[in-house]
Amino acid sequence: MEHLYGVLEGCSSKEMDLKKERTRLSKGIVFNNETLEALRKINQQELDTFDLKRANQLFKAFAKSRVYHCPTLTVNRAMAFEDEMKSANDPFLAYMPIGVREFWKRTAKLREKVSSADFKMDKAIYQKEVSLIPLMKQAGVKFLAGTDVLNIYCYPGFSLPNELVLLVKAGLTPLEALQAATVNAAEYMGNQNFGTIENGKTADLDLLDANPLEDIANVKRISAVIFKGKLLEKQDLDRMLSGMKKMSESPEPRD
């Protein structure tokens, strides 16, 4: 399951009532002030009717049924805190193609119409969803690491280390966060040929300057990469990044 969608609703003592109301609003939906106010009320009800017993039962059911969760905290946080984030100053923006940057500008322009009350609610929902992760972990739910790239502030490659940091802040250990991006993914895909470093397995590796088990942010301190059996050292990686930046500055070909 992606994005923790529906999880908070499933933890509510009024789950079916909320589901019916959200379904009603989604039919021929028009995002006017009246509809947005109604959606805000549903979100508030989810928070007000949160039932810890129902939550624990739901999470145990996830674990028993081997339902993996990919929280995508990167995109959830970006949407909730977009009013505070400034992509124009983001250094990773320089590596994105012109078309993506223009699309993000248009998206940001549309989101300027979102009211402060809606952003306040989005933040409250995000924080509540983050608080569910330790409960899910305790119940035995397995996690996957994903970011939902190309949504605003979600960069291919660059955002994954940030996702691991957010997962640790949410309650996973550094080892569990690393497993979400490696061995858990292999298990979920049913492919035991990758995911761990063992003789005979396929393994693309990041070689780091510091131990990520001591600080998960150390996954960003990459000194070299082994990709398909080829060693790419720091100067090779810097050269690739420089090439990406030049490509992003070129107009994209059009049909």
DSSP per-residue string spanning 109-143: HHHTTS-HHHHHHHHHHHHHHHHHHHHHHHHT--B
Distance CA 72, CA 160 (A): 10
Residue-wise pLDDT tens digits, 31-71? 677 778 888 999 999 999 999 999 999 999 999 999 999 99
* Dihedral over alpha carbons 92, 94, 100, 106 (to 10 degrees): 90
Give the residue from 147, 167, 191 where a domain finishes. Answer: 191
* pLDDT for the residue 200: 86
Specify the pairing of strand 205-208 against strand 230-233: unpaired
> pLDDT category, 127, cuts 50, 70, 90?
very high
Q: What is the mean pLDDT of the chain?
A: 91
Residue predicted with more confidence, 18 or 248: 18
Specify the range with the lowest mean pLDDT, choosing from 13-17, 117-121, 246-250. Answer: 246-250
SS3 151: strand
| Across 66-84, average pLDDT | 94
| 112 and 78 housed in the same domain | yes
**Residue 241, domain extent:** 204-250
| 180 and 68 housed in the same domain | yes
Give the residue from 191, 223, 241 where a domain finishes. Answer: 191
| 209 and 187 housed in the same domain | no
Q: Distance from first CA to last CA of the chain, Å, rounded? A: 37
> pLDDT category, 30, cuts 50, 70, 90?
low
| 53 and 92 housed in the same domain | yes
| 24 and 52 housed in the same domain | yes
| 116 and 218 housed in the same domain | no
Query: What is the count of structural domains for the chain?
Result: 2
Residue predicted with more confidence, 158 or 28: 158
> pLDDT category, 6, cuts 50, 70, 90?
very high
Count CB atoms within 10 A of the CB of residue 228: 6
In 3D, which of 23, 1, 16, 2 has the Cα closest to residue 54?
A: 16
| 33 and 87 housed in the same domain | yes
Residue 99 in any domain: the answer is: yes
Distance CA 133, CA 185 (A): 18
Residue 1 in any domain: the answer is: no
| 148 and 183 housed in the same domain | yes
Residue predicted with more confidence, 111 or 247: 247
**CB-based contacts of 255, cutoff 8 Å, min separation 6:** none
Residue predicted with more confidence, 145 or 90: 145
Residue predicted with more confidence, 73 or 33: 73
